[in-house]
Structure 1
Amino acid sequence: MASQSEQLTAAEISRLAGVTRATVSNWRRRHPDFPQPSGGTEASPSYDRRQIEEWLDARGRLPARSAGDDLRAHLRGRAPLEAEAVALFTAHLAGLDAGKRAAIAALNDDELTALHADALSSAGAAETGRADVPATLLRTAAQVADQQGPLAVFDVLDEHTEAPIGIRGTHPTPDVLADLMAGLATTGGPRVRGVLDPACGGGRLLAAVAAALEPGASVYGQEYRPVTASQARARLAEAAPAASVDVRPGDSLRDDAFPDLHVDAVVCNPPYGDREWGHDDLAFDARWAYGVPPRSEPELAWVQHALAHLSEGGHAVLLLPPATASRPSGRRIRAELLRQGALYGVIALPAGLAVPHHIGLHLWILRAPEPDRPGRDLVLLMDASDESASNGLHETIVGTWQAFTGRGEFTEIPGTARAVPAIDLLDDLVDLSPARHVRTAPVITPDAALRDVTQLIERLKADIAELTDATEIGPLSSAGETSRTWRTATIADLARGGALALHKGTRATSPAPLPADLTDRPVLRARDLIGGTRASGETRDPHLSDPVVIEAGDVLVTQVVGPQGVATRVMGEDDAGCLLGNGVFLLRPDPARLDPWFLAGFVSAPDNISQATTGSSTPQLVASRLRVPLLPIGEQTAYGHAFRQVDELRSTARNAANCADETADLIATTLSSGALLPPATESP
């Protein structure tokens, strides 16, 4: 029997071959020569790696082995302490330039072991340092860091490690939310010189804030999972090399790593729904200045933890579930936050921005109370739940926040934002849900209402006619009794052969100036690609590294894989000239060898995306692993024409659906407000 390090599960076979689990199951059933299980259980068998690789190689399905694959193999069967030691070692490599990483990957065993000991010593990880980590494991991690960057090591470690049982509601902060929270935390108050995230996870939110701070700023983080804490440290070293970074493992509520720390800003996306947060052990904790949080209100424990770490005039921004604003069990604490002037704003966000995707989360903005002004401050209540994440959500919220915190008097935005005196919120419910306070019936004149409804109905009819035309795809024909098959090549292979060029939009580690001819160009970000909108970013915002100018015919793909897969777009003449934004891959095909619409259609196929995705918490696309059929340019053009028609169908369907929603909402609103009357009907 093969040793454990030579065994592969069905999931690992699918990852190795770049196919789905269902495909592996089909191979087992349909191919008599598929290797027999050599270990595991009947429900979860495992297979000899050598036999599987030989079987795949005979069918041309064995891709080139990567350093990440080697790291997975070396980690199999390793103890958690060894994974933690690899994580600390990788965090030590973060922030080094490419030459130093390459040199480290080439060190001998003794030199690697000594470097590992230095990394553990500098991190203060004495206990982890006792883990006996083979030099081959360290070298493989160093090779992954050299070839793909340190964060790629953590994608592999995420597959190997699991969160402790009983800890729920922990999810990474998407980039769109991290950027928004960073914008709120660093504006509307004094200059931020120090920031803390007490539940920093992999460091996405903390890195977004750190990137907006001046060099030399102090950045603190705490995360209960040691491997993830090291990931945060590595991410910060890459994103903010000029910052002073201190990230420690541990549970912030039960064992605060920074008990005496006071900073200018606190940001946090705390775990939600965790009833085992330490209620019994922390009943007499000094942080509960606004009341002891009930067991069912862990979010209010995090709120008070954040306030306890704010210096005078400092702000905290927390991402919380909407129930925190209205649950009866938290009423007394919410009331005390208002009385003492600690609550500065509550902003309702649209659903789908973060887990759980089916509800719209809230942003709470807090401040260290001023003793001489209790209960006399205004609270910003803003309902942005109808805004689109890809259509100016960041600008709308940050702009409203800056207007609220500015010197002038804040002007109410009807139906969206109000500055409410804290005393007006202290009723029997103390319900802080923004929609409860900002939603008012619109003032609509009957003639204007009729004109608007008529125009929308005409527009909807035109959209429906366009949608009908877009369904004329084809004529399509059947491939016969079995589906067509073809030889394929990876994007990496095509790039090496000169059939295309692969680029990725990345942020610079420091805000280096762009060439003068690029400074005023818009930046096409992932959110623009997802929302189907034009480039809306600004060059001064993301600090692009090695900016890439988009050309007509380029194929763009988002890096983050969402529930619906990735967003893909073939760029036209109108899109040419903008810059490639962070988190977006650009494939630039040679038009003589690759049709761009053919390329876009196949690289965005669900099975293709699935086999090229890594990471469990935040799935990321590895574009180089995507596979493309090797077909003559004439056949590519035929496929490309069909894929272009499919894209037009999606676009027109989206436009028609949006127009239908807008029309239905306006008719319902104008009828219920009395501006319009229904069609006459006969009495029964």
Structure 2
Amino acid sequence: MRDEQGNADRLLSRNEFARLAGVKRPTITKWARLQGFPKVLHLADGEYFTLASVLEWLDRRPIPAKNRAADEPADATYGRRARRRSVHAPETPARRTTRTGAGSSDLAHDHLLGPLAESVRGGAGSQADYLSLLLCLIFVRVTARDEWMRLMEVTETDSDRIRPDGLVRHVSERVDQVLRSRGVPSGVYSVLERLRPRAAEDLIEVIRACDQLGDDDFDALLSRFSTERRLGSADYFTPAEVARLMAGLVIAEDAEGGTVYDPYLRGGELLRAASRTRQVQTVGGESPNRETLRLAGMNLAVHGLTARLRPGRDTPWDEPDEHRSPADAVLLNPPFNRQRPMARRRSDSEWPFGPPPRHNDNYAWVQHAVSSLTSGGRAAVLMTSQAGVSSDEEERRIRKEMVEKGAIEAVVALPAHIFPLSDAAVMLWVVRRPAPGPRRILFVDARAMSGKDQAGPVLSREAVESIPELFTDRLRLPEGERIELAGGGSATVAGADALRDTGHSLHPSDYLKGTRGAARSMRSEDTAVSLAELADIRSRVSTADSRVEELRTLPLTRASSGLPSGWRRLALEDICLIQAGPSYSRLGTDDRTKDGPVPVVMPRHLRDRRIVATGAECVSEELARKLAKFRLSPYDILCVRSGAMTEPALVETNQDGWLFGANLFRLRRIGAETVDPWYLLGFLSLATVREWIEDRSTGTAVPFITGQTLGRLMVSIPPIDEQRGIGASLRALDDQIAAHRNFARASEQARATLAEQLMEGVVTLP
């Protein structure tokens, strides 16, 4: 009997029970009076049944003739129907099928973002409008249980008696009522009315599926929404890693009871980061964009935060100050380089460092942030790099005033490609209210401190963690000393004289040129070590080249059309167990750390058909034991489930027991004598196979493939000895590719080391 444990313990509500069986909700109540009905589990939030007990019960119940669908045979049971209706349920033991083992949350995503999305949009609404619907439903489900139960009652109504447009209005009214109760601007119907569900049943199915979703799903869908809505630079959401860095810099360790203010709310991500960094008492903000303000309110509420949000203006400095109280911390990602032709209401004397220029509002925003602080407060403000070195007379004057009055404490240069829709160079300024004299300023060049996730470049974890620690210790650092940071960054502290020598520049590169501290000191031995490593890698390259050269002697003959004798084709599901990674609710960001005994493999670690997990995040052994079914064994194969469909990778012996993340599938061979792992890796790496997967991937913003679809891939299977020969040949070529790439990287590093030391006079040529 095959292993059904991956899904057997999943819990179903009564509504889910009814949906799987294809009956009305009252039928479940009638069945509950019958002998042998599944045992009810009474949990804190309701009554549930295990999927295994439900299927066992339904397998014993034949479907009456009057209730059978046209395509159901005379011996059909409710159990067979349940398995057919839901990708969540395991298949019957008599037939081997794909076993994804995905969490209900992930499978709900697959269901919601597939053909159902098109049906609800109805050819009129956009994908962003549909995502707004999902976000609204999750918001109500998480924050207002009573209202959610009223919505769920609709799913028990005969859908033929409901008008689709009337149901859209009903959902909008329920959402708006919850929004208003939280002081968030309502008006959801103006967005949702653009949806044109083809049938009420489609929208009812969406509501049912959202009953499985929570705060992690809200985050994932909010990220998709920002992509689909194509928010401009004035509204796109701040990357999560940048938001955490900003919060870590300005919210003190003893900030309990403090207040945090965001003068230009986008999606609420800065206030969320603040609450996750420290325990704060009050968060508040404003935005001129009603749609993103509403999303921010939902975002904060879903994560348990009560915020004081209100509609604002593009020029909040023109509003009377009595509308807001000073904050202990301000987090601000303003719209860059906006020009305001109208005269500002604030007089020149009211600006703390002088009136900003008319050609853009950059210096108006940073001064507004300073003005919004308490006397001991601190603000983190994103600014263009140009603002720190601008030659404009008004901006230079303001910059000088801010430096000389001690309002600037730190400047961090961020990587250029981590912000959506822009490659502009961006700086992060840490500012305070004026002081009697200039403060020493910490300058950090973090432009190289980036990593990658499935969406693209991101600010690295090293930057998020190390820069706030460095900022805390900045007063103890000697001026002018260069400090190298893990992950490729560097930093130094500049005093008043150095700041004046550069004309009050606020660009880290002007203070890191030529600085040399203990961490930067160079040794002549470094060159010898680099060249020795290069020679060692070169020997490995020669070995790999020799093995590939041996392939030239292999007798290669052209086969006739069709498969050679002894070959066959099998579906992938017939030769492998297909397991999807754990949902984000089971293995989220907060569960992973830099240190730990069990690494977690993510899509970015799949390179050259190998797992290269340098810098991989880890989890505790205790959590790994709880996620035992997601551990890896030698010769498992990992392939991408969602995002860029890159080549698969083989698990090696030293990676035994590692975990794999949500956006991956693990393929585990059912029989060692059926398929060779290296052969299967080679087959799955074929360009034609990748095209097959991409053609069958669904989703708009981020493509994804289900385990059920992947399982239908037909694999050419030669006899096992031929498989091993093919796999060994391809492995030799893989080794050669990896060796040459490592050699190229080592050559670049050796050149950089030698060039720097030659130019600095650390080493000399004979």
1:112-141: CA deviation from partner (whole Å, max 9, x where unpaired): 755531321332445555778478485465
Cα distance change of structure 1 residues 129 and 427 upon mapping to structure 2, 3 Å threshold: same
152, 177, 180: which one aligns with 1:121: 177
Aligned-partner Cα distance in 1 for 2:734–2:319: 51
* Match runs of 1:153-552 below 5 Å: 161=229, 163=231, 167-168=232-233, 171-186=236-251, 190-191=255-256, 193-214=258-279, 217-220=281-284, 222=286, 225-238=289-302, 240-241=303-304, 243-245=305-307, 253=315, 259-272=323-336, 274-276=337-339, 278=340, 280=342, 282=344, 284=346, 288-294=351-357, 297-329=360-392, 330-355=395-420, 361-366=426-431, 368-369=432-433, 373-387=435-449, 389=451, 393-395=460-462, 398-406=465-473, 409-410=476-477, 412-414=481-483, 416-422=490-496, 424-427=498-501, 429-440=503-514, 447-448=524-525, 451-452=528-529, 454-459=531-536, 461-462=538-539, 464-465=541-542, 468=545, 499-507=577-585, 520-524=596-600, 526=602, 529=605, 532-534=612-614, 536-537=616-617, 539=619, 547=627, 550-552=631-633
Task: Give the aligned partner of residue 103 of structure 1.
Answer: 152
140, 144, 148: which one aligns with 1:93: 140
Contact preservation (8 Å) 1:345, 1:364: yes
1:502: Cα distance to partner?
Answer: 1.0
Identical pairs, percent? 19
Structure 1 residue identity aligned to 2:391: P
Structure 1 residue 671 corresponds to structure 2 residue 758:
yes
1:260: Cα distance to partner?
Answer: 0.6
Contact preservation (8 Å) 2:329, 2:378: yes
Aligned-partner Cα distance in 2 for 1:256–1:478: 80
Structure 2 residue identity aligned to 1:345: A
1:636-681: CA deviation from partner (whole Å, max 9, x where unpaired): 96787677667655644443333122111112112212233447xx
After alignment, is 338-347 or 629-638 more displaced? 629-638
SS at match of 1:666: helix
Task: Give the aligned partner of residue 685 of structure 2.
Answer: 601
Aligned-partner Cα distance in 1 for 2:134–2:668: 37
Structure 1 residue 587 corresponds to structure 2 residue 647:
no
Cα distance change of structure 1 residues 119 and 529 upon mapping to structure 2, 3 Å threshold: same
Task: Give the aligned partner of residue 47 of structure 1.
Answer: none
Q: Which runs of 5+ in 2 are unaligned?
A: 1-107, 453-457, 485-489
After alignment, is 124-133 or 634-643 more displaced? 634-643
Contact preservation (8 Å) 1:470, 1:645: yes
Structure 1 residue identity aligned to 2:528: R
Structure 2 residue identity aligned to 1:92: F
Task: Give the aligned partner of residue 572 of structure 1.
Answer: 652
Contact preservation (8 Å) 1:508, 1:544: no
Aligned-partner Cα distance in 1 for 2:733–2:241: 28
602, 605, 612: which one aligns with 2:697: 612
Contact preservation (8 Å) 1:414, 1:438: no
Aligned-partner Cα distance in 2 for 1:610–1:310: 53
Cα distance change of structure 1 residues 80 and 433 upon mapping to structure 2, 3 Å threshold: same
Cα distance change of structure 1 residues 207 and 157 upon mapping to structure 2, 3 Å threshold: same
Aligned-partner Cα distance in 1 for 2:694–2:358: 42
1:249: Cα distance to partner?
Answer: 6.1
Structure 1 residue 631 corresponds to structure 2 residue 631:
no
Task: Give the aligned partner of residue 24 of structure 1.
Answer: none
Contact preservation (8 Å) 2:407, 2:439: no
1:432: Cα distance to partner?
Answer: 1.5
Structure 1 residue 77 corresponds to structure 2 residue 152:
no
Q: Which runs of 5+ in 1 are unaligned?
A: 1-63, 680-684
Aligned-partner Cα distance in 2 for 1:380–1:599: 53
SS at match of 2:505: coil
Larger radius of gyration: 2
Cα distance change of structure 1 residues 140 and 231 upon mapping to structure 2, 3 Å threshold: farther
SS at match of 1:347: strand
1:173: Cα distance to partner?
Answer: 3.9
Alignment RMSD (CA, Å): 5.3
1:379: Cα distance to partner?
Answer: 1.1
1:7-57: CA deviation from partner (whole Å, max 9, x where unpaired): xxxxxxxxxxxxxxxxxxxxxxxxxxxxxxxxxxxxxxxxxxxxxxxxxxx
After alignment, is 665-674 or 246-255 more displaced? 246-255
TM-score with structure 2 length normalisation? Answer: 0.61
Aligned-partner Cα distance in 1 for 2:411–2:666: 41
TM-score with structure 1 length normalisation? Answer: 0.67
Structure 1 residue identity aligned to 2:440: L
Contact preservation (8 Å) 1:198, 1:252: no
Cα distance change of structure 1 residues 419 and 161 upon mapping to structure 2, 3 Å threshold: closer
